[in-house]
Structure 1
């Protein structure tokens, strides 16, 4: 089943080609040729199942379209006949005003959300909470700001406030069902669902988290963060084989995710596939050697192989990077107790 983005591309691409063919014999305008080419590219990328390829080429297409419009309006439009000017305005300027402004606003919300989430990932929970509060003062009905605040509050141990925030985010998510011109809003809804999943997972309610990750992926199957979250939830529910499939999906869209490479290595460890587990953890370390959980996972794998001295070396590396890493402290205590025996 094609996702919303590819369906939108097929519809818009078909419209471009039909429009170009219909009006070219009347106007003989070279810009209609450009429009037809754009339509062909949209259809090709819409049919292509490789999401990574599509995600790389679409920004280039958008840039190509806007450059073409700009060149046309600056160098050709001023010398066009009046009736031709009206046609150009109706075809290009009005759609930019009607759809470009909402699109820009939506992507602004997404950009702000990602900035706040990076603070959370860096352990700056209070700073992230304050950042989202500032956004909400100006834009109280911003679903992503409420969602980001929920994650920060959950990390601060303020579970009740976190669930209040995520409820607001879910209540404020976009209700639109229009698929073609609301792709950014669909993404925002998917991100809200994904964040709700993270909040419930952090609270230990993995089944509820799983429900929200599935809702996110129903809207945006290429949302790799949701595949990672779903994998974590499944693993904690004891469904490691299913979790492995989710991590593979994540890595298809985001092959250099150090966190997912770590999680896949951890699941492979649980399944007793130690050599594969080390392989994926080492891939993660090449991406981000300063991620403590990778060193912890590698240490745990060597513990399973009864190589405790080497395991201790990796655990110490994790603690060097994060002296407050509780999980690493527990594993180190376990190794040292084994040495005493």
Structure 2
């Protein structure tokens, strides 16, 4: 019962979070200096004043802001996020198509950054004050201070332009029909943007894991284990990993929000047609239905990641699992 109560309260807080995300997004869109009509009607496709008025009437651009938001929320209750002004398609369909690409990108980057960040953090702590530790710290600090788009351009220039090992843009081969695109083609185009996100996500997890493991190795029970004849790696395996796994999982799932933000820049650099790329297009075109839909989906995505992390705590730590019935 306490776990069910916890999940229920978390879901209520999650709904409040999503409502806040929608409101903040709407306020920011209304405060934007971009004119949605000017963004919709480009200089290459001029229209008459009568056509402009008809377009504004069709999209409800002349309606009061609160009325536009109310109509969108009312449609959302019935499962409709509206129609994208730029793509001329239902928002749910646009998100469905592009979210698959983003999910592959963020999933691969999330797994690799968490795995290698944890391994590097353990190695740095176990080899504290050695060249291995110094090298890992310098690497993490340099990567942490490097912007995602700059690192992406550097990786693109080296592996895509100079060496020619991977394609320089897009998520699928140019000129190839969607039905003919294979899973191998998608993976081939996924390598460079996933590598960019993985490299940038390693540093935070590695440095955090290193510090946590150093605290464990300096604890009384670790010193007692060393006095009994256990080697440093035995102490790390028997005592260290168990104690640093929980904060590592917490940080790994908390990094989902940063990963989503980084994917926007990575997708823009590599012209990878994921949800981040669509978010940039929606922002520059001031496509309100699409922006609200992306904000809602991204907020739910981050919330779901944090909820999964909280549900994994009792599985990882027996003390938390034993303490649940007594709450």
Q: Give the TM-score of the pair, scaled to structure 1.
A: 0.28
Compare the two structures and name the one with the higher helix fraction: 1
Greater RCO (Cα-Cα under 8 Å, separation 6 or more): 2
TM-score by length of 2: 0.29
